[in-house]
Amino acid sequence: MPNGNLEKWLHPKSTSETLTLAQRICIASDVASALEHLHDGCGNSIVHCDVKPSNILLDHAMTAHLTDLGIAEFLVCATEKSKNSSSLSGLRGSIGYIAPEYGMGGRASTAGDVYSFGVLLLEMLTGKRPTDEIFKEGLSLPSFVNEAFPEKIMEIVDSAILGQESEVESEPSDHRNIRCVIQLIKVALLCTVELPKHRIKMRQVAAEIAYIWQVFSN
């Protein structure tokens, strides 16, 4: 893809490759829609199992494409045999993005993809990798953000998103940007709830982000 993967844009070597808030919302929407299609639009549910920035490629228009469906293809074949379209055992993902239940022997599920997407969204909004040094001894990126939400949330948001505008409280566009960031973080925290059964569904995630984009772009 002409613009490489999302990893290099979230953690750029130069400021010329920094993503705007608008681009981040659009990319999040693209990925959410792709996962919604895998989960609900293919007859049997397909679980991606490895949602992370390096598996999201950006074309010339910065449209995001979810890639690396090798594990997902295996799940499709396995579901036909197991007659269980939404969860299978023995599959994981990438450190930092995998759902906590996978580490305890839990079965791969659409809820696991939702968790991984939530971590990805938090990374897009904070600029922090879930594998950064600060995340150890029980502290994860979701718990780090949850502790700051909502009062101190702007202290941990990636400064590249809002820049100096975040200090100009009188600007209507700045208020809009802050509201959209907070709403996106709310969605991400709903995705990363500890118990799988309490997590939001991917179709709800896609709808919420589409609504946030409407608010942002108007």
Whether residue 165 is contained in a domain is answered as: yes
Which pLDDT does position 167 carry in this prediction? 42
Whether residue 199 is contained in a domain is answered as: yes
Q: How many domains does one find in the chain?
A: 1
Whether residue 125 is contained in a domain is answered as: yes
The single-letter code of the amino acid at 196 is: P
Say how far apart CA 67 and CA 69 lie, in whole Å: 6
Q: Higher confidence at residue 171 or residue 175?
A: 175
Say how far apart CA 45 and CA 79 lie, in whole Å: 9
As a whole number, mean pLDDT of residues 62-73 equals 83
pLDDT digits (tens, 9 = 90+) for 140-166: 999 999 999 999 999 999 988 876 344
Whether residue 167 is contained in a domain is answered as: yes
Q: Higher confidence at residue 205 or residue 89?
A: 205
Whether residue 44 is contained in a domain is answered as: yes
Beta strand residue intervals within 28-135, DSSP E: 56-58, 64-66, 87-88, 108-109
Whether residue 1 is contained in a domain is answered as: no
Sequence-separated (6 or more) residues with CB below 8 Å from residue 152: none
Q: Best-predicted range by mean pLDDT among 76-85, 91-100, 171-180, 195-204?
A: 195-204
| CB atoms closer than 10 angstroms to residue 157 | 22
Our answer to whether residue 50 is catalytic in this structure is: yes
Q: Whole-prediction pTM value?
A: 0.88
Whether residue 87 is contained in a domain is answered as: yes
Q: Higher confidence at residue 62 or residue 80?
A: 62
Phi, psi dihedrals of residue 5, rounded to the nearest 5°:
-105, 170
Say how far apart CA 166 and CA 180 lie, in whole Å: 13
Please provide the average confidence, as pLDDT, over all residues in the chain.
87
Which CATH number covers residue 203? 1.10.510.10
| CB atoms closer than 10 angstroms to residue 18 | 16
Q: Higher confidence at residue 15 or residue 116?
A: 116
**Which of 118-122, 134-138, 173-177 is least confident?**
173-177
Which pLDDT does position 138 carry in this prediction? 85
C-alpha 87, offset from chain centre: 20
Q: Which among 30, 40, 50, 158 is annotated as catalytic?
A: 50
pLDDT grade for 76, boundaries at 50, 70 and 90: low
Whether residue 218 is contained in a domain is answered as: no
Tell me which residue range forms the domain holding 193.
Answer: 6-211
Please determine, for residue 171, whether its predicted confidence score (pLDDT) is greater than 70: no
Which pLDDT does position 90 carry in this prediction? 54
pLDDT digits (tens, 9 = 90+) for 25-38: 999 999 999 999 99
Give the DSSP letter string of 77-105: HHHHHHS-SSEESS----TTTS-GGGGGT
Say how far apart CA 18 and CA 29 lie, in whole Å: 18
End-to-end Cα, the chain, rounded Å: 30
